[in-house]
Amino acid sequence: MTSGPETRDASLPARIGALAATLRQLGWLNGSLYVIDRVLAMTSGGRARLYKYYLVAQPVARKALLPPRRGAGLEVRQVGPSDPLLREFPRPEHAMPYRFSQGAVCLAELQADKCIGFLWLVLGPYREDEVRCRYVPLPEGKSSWDFDIYIDPAHRNGIAFLKLWDAANRFLSERGIEWSLSRISALNTASLLSHQRLGARRIATAAFVSAGSWQISFSTVRPRFHWSTSADAFPTYPLRPPRNP
């Protein structure tokens, strides 16, 4: 069945309504950045983008988030570079070797042998794979970096997120880590709220404008401004958790 003008017109108010709801949720500043990013992406075929991140620090919980019997049907285990489970991840294949090459650890969550979520950790510096920069969690040996936390949409209203973080907290606590640092898109309000419930606190903000090999970055930590024209040039951000727990 083909779509006539009436079908296309009927979808326009829905799209406008969805955009208006997104802008109300994000606020005028982040909402404006969202619109600018969408325009850049559409007019450049995806070669130009705008990213804004909140850099946060989350305390490693010493106490379980869930009672012992909750989530008994869920299993969290560490997966290595050759684990076939990685093929189930909704991520590009080239991303996995890149992450493991930096010493990243992947924790996967399963239900009935099917992957429903995962979380990545690095106990040292990590070079970002969405923009060009490098994060250095400090102090060394007490802070780590977490990234790309994913829960299957069908399980996002359940306990899968907390079960995954219970496993991550145990892994980090056993290695003496007290804080896990990460970056969260300023446009992802759901992720921000989820991390805030776990005690995450904002420690910095960073924004990146990229166009092909060109990249300009601004941040509230040094270097506050960085401009590069090649893949080999990128800013390094030393990041520390808050002084007060």
8 assigned to some structural domain? no
Q: Which two tokens stand for residue 148?
A: 């790309």
Q: What is the pLDDT of residue 23?
A: 65
Query: Looking at the 3D structure of the chain, how many domains does it have?
Result: 1
In a domain, 9, yes or no: no
Dump pLDDT digits (tens) for 103-154: 999 999 999 999 999 999 999 999 998 999 999 999 999 999 999 999 999 9
Which domain CATH number covers 233? 3.40.630.30
Domain that holds residue 186: 22-239
Residue whose entry in the numeric block shows the structure tokens 């727990």: 245
Amino acid at 211: A
Residue 52: which of 228, 225, 209, 161 has the closest Cα?
209
**What average pLDDT does the structure give for the chain?**
90
Length of the chain: 245
pLDDT value for 21: 66
Quick check: is 17 in a domain?
Answer: no
Q: What's the whole-number mean pLDDT along residues 174-202?
A: 93
Residue 151 near residue 135, CB atoms below 8 Å? no
- SS3 category, 146: strand
Within a domain: residue 245?
no
Q: Give 6 or 243, the one with higher predicted confidence.
A: 243
What's the pLDDT at 163? Answer: 96
In a domain, 40, yes or no: yes
Helix/strand/coil for 79:
strand
Distance of CA 127 to the CA centre of its chain: 13
What tokens appear for 97 in the block? 């070797």
Whether 107 is covered by a domain: the verdict is yes
CA distances from 67 to 6, 22, 163, 231 (A): 53, 35, 10, 46
Domain assignment present for residue 41? The answer is yes
Within a domain: residue 182?
Answer: yes
Q: What is the pTM of this model?
A: 0.86
- In angstroms, the Cα distances linking 46 to 37, 98, 106, 190 are 10, 22, 29, 24
